[in-house]
Structure 1
């Protein structure tokens, strides 16, 4: 179902690869339809509240595991207590194919067992500050898919939120993978570019970002 012929990958940093146009419009439409279903429940999409009282401008819905600052749980501890939607097997296959195409290595997806996805929706004013994805107990790569409006994606270093960084424009259908030495690099979205979405994808405004991840957690006693 997924994974068209890849364009030429661009390495932004060691282990961090941008692959433009990886998803066809048809594949993007399928993902938009799925995201709309997940957005209404069992745990609806929401603005995440931060520990100090701030509220994130992006809206988020989770699959497999529920993310809240700064942990994963099976139930939405900060949003009504419901159990999150299951992480689908076809999305795990998608993540493995993404690694193969991004790294140009037929074995890159071997042993990659993602079990969660964070789906963020950005309206034209939403941003995401520089941060690391450190709440997982795994250093497996993160697979990021973009649909809808383009954005400026800022990819930094592993030491701090400041320069050096590289700004990359991510368009609808683009794939970005970061693993290896860049797995814990700071990154963020300082700006969405309104009016750049193609209605043919099923999303005429705003940006969907789907990040596929390995939590390294299980359901044994003591797990989150």
Structure 2
């Protein structure tokens, strides 16, 4: 990986926490559109800090293309709510793989989700679908199922190439689970406040 690619990995992981669309008190993981918007925002902010431009839904309807000032494609980005192992319903990885064969200089980036119970199967599916000689950077949000809702646990970043993959980094998927941060402090205060309000409400009902 070159420096700019490493910068993108670091920026995506860091900016993932910025303007986070849910709170520990009001969690609504199941709204797919919310996460689509959040991912698009993270990609654009990262591209801005790298000095590049972001174009959405361009070039064979790629979710996002990060371009240089000379309008050369620097990275092509796809994201998908459905897990990679459901290959009949997911074509984003194959689309990136085909695009990489036509434009090998552009970085390929995939953002997806993985049930922790089937994480190995999801990674194997990405590996199987990625047939380009180039490199694929995959940001994978792991989750647990609680009731009928996804509950995010970790954000893991992988590099796929030549039929192999490696873990580049991992972090908490929820900002308030990052220890010794202001996010955790604010979340704890909000939970205590919400708990106190609930107790007052219960007393009024009596």
Q: TM-score if structure 2 supplies the norm length?
A: 0.28
Higher normalized helix content (fraction of residues): 2
Higher relative contact order (CA 8 A, sep 6+): 1
Structure (1 or 2) with the larger CA radius of gyration: 2
The TM-score normalised by the length of structure 1 is 0.26
